[in-house]
Structure 1
Amino acid sequence: MKLIIKPRSPKSRKFPITLDFAPRTPDEIRVEDVKNAIAKKLPQFYPDRQRLTVDGPTATDKPVGLEVGKTLADYNLKDGDAVTFKDLGPQISWRTVFLVEYGGPLVIHPIFYYLQQFWYGKTFEHSQMQTVTLWMVLLHFLKREYETVFVHRFSHGTMPLRNLFKNSAHYHILSGFNLAYFVYGPWNATAERSDLLVYGCIALFAFAELSNYATHVTLRNLRPPGTRIRKIPRGYGFNLVSCPNYFFETIAWIAVALLTQSWATYLFLAVATGQMYIWAVQKHKNYRKEFSDYPRGRKAMFPFIA
C-alpha cells in the first residue's frame, strides 16, 4: 500500500512524500507505523512532533486526527490516499513540564522566607502563621513532584516546548512570587492566629492532600503501564464527582488561604480553582461522551453542585 503525506502548509518544501508499505494492507498498518516512516525519511519530525489528519466525511466536517494504536483501515484509508501532516514544533515530555512547574515554588518560597534582608531590607522573626504556611506549600509541591515521578501515567507523552513557559508562569508567579512575597513579609511577622485556626487548617490541609493523593493513585491504576486504556474511575471521591483530585486540591488551598488571610493567597485560590473547574467540566463531558454507562448523578468537580 502507498500513502501520500501532504503538508498542511502550502509553503512546505519537504512535502508531499510517498510512503510505501507493500505488501501490507490498511488493516495491518498502524498510525505509529506511518509516523515512524515519516521520521525515517525526515528525522527532524520525530513521531511526537507530528499531527496526522484525514478529511471528514463531508466538506464541512472538521479534519479527523489519526490516533496511535489504530490502523489505517479504521479511517477507511486505501492505496493511494492522502494524509495531512502538521508540524507541532519542538516537544517536551509532560513529566519534565510538571517537574519544572512544581519545582519553581519549591525554590522561590525558601528564598523569600530565608533571604529577608534582600527582599524586605531588614531581618525579623517569622510568625507561626508564616512558618506553617511555608511548610504547607513545600509539602504540597514536594508531593506533586513525587507523584510526577512515581504515580502519574501520561496518556500524551509530550507537549509543545513553547507551552512550558506559559504553564510555568501560573506556578512560578502566582503560587511562587505572589504568595511568597506577600505572605512572608515583615507586615505578617506579628500576625496572630488562634491555635484552633492553625491546627484546624493543618488538619484540613492534611485531609485534602491525602485525599488528593488517593484519587491520583486510583487514576494511575486505571491505566496499565505502556497503554492508553481508559476506564470509568470509581471509588473514593469519584462516586460524587468526575474530578475529585481538583476538588481536594481546592480544599487544600482553602486551608492555606484561611491560615494566611492574604489577598495574594485568595487571588491564587480563585485563579487555580477557576482553571481546575474548566478542566473538570471538559473531562466530565469527555467521560459522558466516551462511556454510555457513565454515572449520571456525578457532577464535574463540586459534589451535588457542579
Structure 2
Amino acid sequence: MAVKLQIKSRSGRDILPDGLLLPSNATVEELRARFAELKPKYPPSRQRFTLPPREGARSGEALANGKRLSDYGLADGSVLYFKDLGPQIGYATVFFWEYLGPLLVYPLFYLAPRLLYPGLKAPEKSVVQNLALAYWSFHYVKRLLETAFVHKFSHATMPVFNLLKNCAYYWMFAAYVAYFVNHPLYTPPPTRRAVIALAAAMLCQFANFRCHVILANLRPAGTKGYVVPRGFLFNFITCPNYTAEILGWVCFTVATQTAAAGLFTLVGAAQMAQWAIGKHARLRKTFDGQEGREKYPRRWIMLPPFF
C-alpha cells in the first residue's frame, strides 16, 4: 500500500505539486532519498521535515532518521513541511578544525615573543607560563583524540557557516588568552597556587573524559532513541561533562590569574549553560513517567549547587 504526502514550504507553498508517493511502511531515510531524487539540489543532509504544528505551537515535530512514516501517523494526504538546511559539513570535520586552531595558535605566543611582542625584551619563561602551555596543549590534544575515537554524533552534519563561526571563536580566544599569559610583562601568581590549580584542572579533564566515554557507550550499536545517562557524575548532574569542562577552565584562570582566561571561561560557560538547559528539558520531556515511560530522576542541570 502506498501513501501520497503533500510537501509544503514553511510559507505553505507546494514544493511538489504532484505530491510524494511512498510505501506506507517507508522509513524517514527513504523519504529523504526519494525527495532528493525529485529535487536533486537538496541532498538528504540538507533536508528537514516537520509535522504540522499542534495548536499553540510555533513549529511541528521534526522527523528523525531510524523511524517509519507510520510512527508519526502519516497517511495518504498527510502534510509535511520542508526546510532547506543549507550546505552542510561533517561534525567531525568542524570539530577537528576548531580544536586544531587553538593547539597551533597558543604556542606561537610562547615560542615567538620577538615577533609578536615587538620592542619588548622577553624574559625567561616562568613556571606558570610553562605549565599553562602544557595544560592548554593537553586539553586540545584530548579534544582532537576524543573527536576521532570517542564521540558519537547524533547528527552527521551541520551548516557550513558553523565551521567559520566556531573556528573564529576558538582561534581568536586562543590568541587573546595566549597574548596575555605569554606577554613579556606578565607577572605570574605564586607558583604553588598555580600548580595546585592546574592539578585540580587535570582532575576535571579526566572527569570530563570519563563523562564522554559514558555518553559514547549509552546506545550500543543497533539501538536508537534517548537513554537516561547513569553512572559516575551522571547520577547527580544532567551535564557533568560541561560541569567538569567549566571547572577546569576556572582552575586555569586561577592558575594564570588573567582576565582574558576568565572571559574565555565565562563565555564558554554561558554557551554550555544554554546547551545544558535544552538537554535537561529534552530528557525530562522524553522521560515523563507517563504511559510506561521511565521518569527522569531529579538532578542538577550543571554546576551544583548553583544551577
Given the two structures, how large is their TM-score scaled by the length of structure 2?
0.90
1:305 alignment counterpart = 306
Unmatched 5+ stretches in structure 1: none
User: Does the 8 Å contact 1:5/1:17 carry over to 2?
Assistant: no
Deviation string, structure 1 residues 87-106 (Cα, Å, up to 9, x no partner) = 11000111111111111101
Unmatched 5+ stretches in structure 2: 290-294
- Secondary structure of 2:225's counterpart equals coil
Letter in 2 for 1:220: A
Give the Å deviation of 1:224: 2.1
Structure 2 residue 209 is the aligned partner of structure 1 residue 213: yes
- Secondary structure of 1:242's counterpart equals coil
Structure 2 residue 50 is the aligned partner of structure 1 residue 49: no
User: Does the 8 Å contact 2:188/2:256 carry over to 1?
Assistant: no
1:180 alignment counterpart = 178
Deviation string, structure 1 residues 114-164 (Cα, Å, up to 9, x no partner) = 121211014522221111111111100110111111000011111111122
Q: What's the C-alpha RMSD, in Å, of the aligned pairs?
A: 2.0
Q: What is the distance in 1 between the residues matched to 2:81 and 2:178?
A: 47
2:78 alignment counterpart = 81
Q: What is the distance in 1 between the residues matched to 2:190 and 2:277?
A: 37
- Secondary structure of 2:19's counterpart equals strand
Q: What is the distance in 2 between the residues matched to 1:295 and 1:247?
A: 18
- CA distance 1:192–1:31, change in 2 (3 Å): closer
Give the Å deviation of 1:60: 6.0
- CA distance 1:210–1:44, change in 2 (3 Å): same
Structure 2 residue 286 is the aligned partner of structure 1 residue 287: no
Q: What is the distance in 2 between the residues matched to 1:17 and 1:167?
A: 41
Mapping of residues 152-301 of structure 1, within 5 Å: 152-174=151-173, 176-188=174-186, 191-225=187-221, 227-291=223-287, 292=289, 293-296=295-298, 298-301=299-302
Letter in 1 for 2:175: F
Deviation string, structure 1 residues 37-83 (Cα, Å, up to 9, x no partner) = 11122232111100112213448663332222222222222223332
Q: What is the distance in 2 between the residues matched to 1:79 and 1:128?
A: 71
2:21 alignment counterpart = 20
- CA distance 1:47–1:154, change in 2 (3 Å): same
- Secondary structure of 1:37's counterpart equals helix
- CA distance 1:60–1:259, change in 2 (3 Å): closer
Letter in 2 for 1:263: A
Give the Å deviation of 1:10: 6.8
User: Does the 8 Å contact 1:155/1:228 carry over to 2?
Assistant: no
- Secondary structure of 1:51's counterpart equals strand
Count how many residue pairs are aligned between Structure 1 and Structure 2. 297
Q: What is the distance in 1 between the residues matched to 2:286 and 2:146?
A: 26
User: Does the 8 Å contact 1:151/1:216 carry over to 2?
Assistant: yes
Q: What is the distance in 2 between the residues matched to 1:221 and 1:8?
A: 37
User: Does the 8 Å contact 2:102/2:140 carry over to 1?
Assistant: yes
- CA distance 1:302–1:59, change in 2 (3 Å): closer
1:140 alignment counterpart = 139
- CA distance 1:60–1:136, change in 2 (3 Å): closer
